[in-house]
Copies of this chain bind each other. A is one copy, B any other.
Amino acid sequence: MDARIDDAGMPRPADLPRRLVAEAVGTAGLLLAVVGSGIMAERLAGGNAAIALLANSLATGFALMVLITAFGSVSGAHLNPVVTLSEAWRGALPWSDAGLYVAVQVAGAFGGVGIANLMFELPVFFLSGRVRAGGGQFLAEVVATFGLLAVILACARRRPEALPLSVGAYIAGAYWFTASTSFANPAVTLARMASDTFTGIRPADVPAFVAAQLIGAAAATALLGWLMPVSASPTRERR
């Protein structure tokens, strides 16, 4: 009997090193997609920011869908500290694992930005000067992260097979319908400081973005906990 398969024929969860590598590689891929497509889009768009954002949003959505499909079975493909914190809060992940998840997500995120910068012949890291501030932006990040977590938690409980497409489509849409272009991810926010290009963010604006993300994620976790109690899910949750 193969020790990696349990009695029901399901694979046992991957061990911690594999899960951490999946989170690091996956988050690197996400940032590479966000920052790389932003650079390419701005270079080609001839000054029309709507065309640039259209390419940037679609490329990001496609990448997210693919990354969650590819790595979901290994680590859950959180790729986002607030997703990891939400899972730990509801008891689905030990807090010690959560800390390691967040650490490798942040490290992977910076790695992805560095590779994107190098591909486009830019310095490996250079600080962004792009201002993203004000009450509208703060509200937008609360809304964006509330929506992202609501989608993830609802799909995880009721339609796990729809999670990759739903998250990709949500973010591709939210680039447009939130005033902040929907960072919705603290690891993404930190790493986007390190590229002074289309998708960058000024370091001074990062703390407010992360605070807004934590508020939005907490609100969504509370609402969904009431709206869709886990024990009422039709199937055992498996992501």
Contact = CB atoms under 8 A, between A and B. Distances in A.
A7 to B, nearest CB: 13
Interface in A110-160: 115-116, 118-121, 134-136, 139-140, 143, 147, 150-151, 154-155, 158-159
A222 interface: no
A49 to B, nearest CB: 4
A92 interface: no
Interface string A1-36: 010110001111010001001100100010011111
Nearest to A168: B169
Contacts of A178: 36, 119
Contact of A32 (B25, B65, B165, B177): B177
Interface stretch (A79-87, A97-105, A229-237): A229-237
Contacts of A226: 18
Given A2-B231, A59-B177, A227-B74, A136 B150 contact: no
Interface of A: 2, 4-5, 9-12, 14, 18, 21-22, 25, 29, 32-37, 40-41, 44-63, 65-66, 69-71, 73-74, 115-116, 118-121, 134-136, 139-140, 143, 147, 150-151, 154-155, 158-159, 162, 164-166, 168-170, 172-180, 223, 226-229, 231-234
Given A32-B143, A63-B173, A71-B154, 11 more contacts: A2-B231, A25-B150, A29-B147, A35-B177, A46-B50, A48-B48, A51-B54, A59-B173, A66-B151, A115-B139, A119-B140
